[in-house]
Amino acid sequence: MAREIVLDTETTGFDPRTGDRMIEVGCIEIDDLLPTGRTFHRLIHPERDIPAGAIAVHGITLEKLRDAPKFAEIAADLLEFIGDAPVIAHNASFDRAFINHELGLCGQLLIEEVRWIDTLQMAQMRFPGMANSLDALCRRFKISLTERSLHGALIDARLLSDVYLELKGGKARSLELVARSDETGGPDGPRRHGARPSPLSPRLTEAEVQAHAAFVAAELGDQALWLKA
């Protein structure tokens, strides 16, 4: 596996082609399906009003963004954080449309569609016909939602990184890591099992040994396989 970026956005609405803008972006860096601890988070001034319906979802008002930078001011930092890594998003076409629209407005290169991984499509393939929203997947995988009362780009990216790990087989991977740890034996190198330095003392009594020999002689005679070795 390689470095990947889990990304989420909050916006003023549903479609950048009708004038909606991005107001928040949050990214989580993962490497080999494990979070590295590196994150990217920015609030963004949308240069327009924020409808009440959108505020009800994420709680971000224009007043809260009064001193926030415009997207053009954070674009270079965002692209530097993402680098050439694949970008993971839930319903990725939504986030891709807003990210690329904003990048286009400030003359930056767009993030190609081939680089985006859509966890919604992954979930629909694994759980066809079931609810596959981020909240539904968190409940299905027993990922706590207690820290999230409203949608937020960074906290949703954190939740999505946990969901993505589960969709990629997180529990099986955990077992694999344990197995590998047992095989490597820690810092001292592989564990090797050879002959016991001193044999264990027999646990049979002499009477039991004689009884077994009598049974073999009576029931199997010289047909006992271990007598032919």
**Active-site annotation, residues:** 151
Long-range contacts of the stretch 141-146 (C-beta < 8 A, 24+): 141/166
Q: Which residues of 118-151 are buried (b: 16+ CB within 10 A; e: fewer)?
A: bbbebbeeeeeeeebebeebbebeebeeeeeeeb
Task: Give the pair of three-digit tokens for residue 24.
Answer: 């928040």
For the chain, where are the E strands, in sequence order? 3-11, 22-31, 34-43, 87-89, 116-118
* 160 and 26 Cβ atoms separated by less than 8 Å: no
Task: Please give the Cα distance from 88 to 5 (Å, whole number).
Answer: 6
φ, ψ for residue 106, nearest 5 deg: -110, 15
Token representation of residue 41: 């988070």
For 81, the token pair is 């954080």
